[in-house]
Amino acid sequence: MTLLLVRHADAGDRAAWTGDDAARPLSATGRAQSQALVDHLAVEPIGSILSSPARRCVDTVEPIAHARGLDVEVDGALAEGTPLDVADRLLRRLRSNDVLLCSHGDVLGAIITSLRRRGAINHRPRWPKGSTWVLDGWPDPARLEYLAPPEVD
């Protein structure tokens, strides 16, 4: 099983947004990143897509879902502020197919840091907006690969 961990694309300045943060949309750069992810992840197997309920996460993976004829399933275990143990329970349930997960820096950071503590990553990891971590062979990844955010104009 392949697990793709995608941090949502650029959503602009949190402090400049006056509405509910869960409704904060992607910026123009983020929309371009989300479209570019379709080609950026074209060679990766994806059988299902799970996303944080935040609009910026759902909007990040909608183009991929559309291109592959998949639905985006919203899961609160991927919401910003979710403790690692809750996210970890979700990951342990994912055993049957190749899954793309879209979440936030804090949630993905906790997962990736946990992998580093287990010795799966031997360098200082990063997870900027629009980036992806590919984990082949979940839950004991044989390949961990960091994919930088796609280049956009």
Q: What is the CATH number of the domain that holds 95?
A: 3.40.50.1240
Structural domain that includes position 91: 2-11+22-136
* Residues 65 and 71: beta-carbon distance below 8 Å: yes
**Burial class of residue 94 (count of CB atoms within 10 Å of its CB; 0-12, 13-18, 19+):** middle
Cis peptide before 63 (omega within 30 of 0): no
What are the pLDDT digits (tens) for 41-54?
A: 999 999 999 999 99
Residue 128 located in a structural domain: yes
Q: How far apart are CA 122 and CA 107, in angstroms?
A: 20
What are the pLDDT digits (tens) for 92-104?
A: 888 768 999 999 9
Q: Which residue has the higher pLDDT, 62 or 118?
A: 62
Q: How far apart are CA 3 and CA 102, in angstroms?
A: 11
Q: Give the chain's domain count.
A: 1
Question: What's the average model confidence in pLDDT over 138-149?
Answer: 86
Inter-CA distances, 152 with 7, 70, 129, 149, Å: 16, 24, 13, 9
